[in-house]
Amino acid sequence: METTVKTVVTFKSSTFNMSEPREYFVNPSCFGDDLAKWLAEQLRSKGYQASEVPGQEDFGWYFTFVESGVEHCFVIGHRAGDDDTEYLWIGWLERSRGFVASVLGGRQRDVQPDAAGAIHEILSSSPQIQNVRWHLRRDFDSGRQKTGTPTPFSD
């Protein structure tokens, strides 16, 4: 039976900067640079090739890393949680692709299970991170976040 890889992850953490906009942010709520740097650093400490400096989007940050010779991109953003003291981080794992393949949906196809496993290992083993939940992209995009599971794999 083929394993389905869940590529969207949510988790809680108040460890990373969520209150002080930096002058280099594209917009004032573009938090997550320190989280992206930390994740990439954790991957490098485990022997992965990972970006030294994350890139910025208007909603968050991203970095690339290589798993089994395949480059992946991990994008991270946030939204306020149930109260103002807790924050829900949202990350999604994609394949790094060229422009044409990206336009044709190639970023969501063929994500290596071990790439999701590497991100999961870091998040789930850190005391700074709580409530790690993995989601199928189609479920998450449809608002069905309650279907998340503790690992990125489901049969």
- Per domain, the residue ranges of the chain are 4-154
For residues 120-143, average pLDDT: 93
pLDDT of residue 154: 74
Q: Is-contact 8 140, C-beta < 8 A?
A: yes
> Which is nearest to 93 in space by CA: 58, 52, 123, 127?
123
pTM of the model: 0.88
pLDDT of residue 56: 95
In the predicted structure, residue 3 carries a pLDDT above the cut 90: no
pLDDT of residue 103: 43
pLDDT of residue 98: 54
pLDDT of residue 82: 60
- Looking at per-residue confidence, does 142 or 126 come out higher? 126
Backbone angles phi, psi at 120, to 5 degrees: -60, -45
Per-range mean pLDDT, top range of 17-21, 70-74, 147-151: 70-74
Radius of gyration of the chain (CA): 15
Burial environment of residue 140 by CB neighbours within 10 A (0 to 12, 13 to 18, 19 or more): buried
**What are 25-79's pLDDT values in tens digits?**
999 889 999 999 999 999 999 999 999 999 999 889 999 999 989 999 999 998 8
**What are 72-124's pLDDT values in tens digits?**
999 999 886 665 545 589 999 998 655 444 444 545 657 889 999 999 999 99
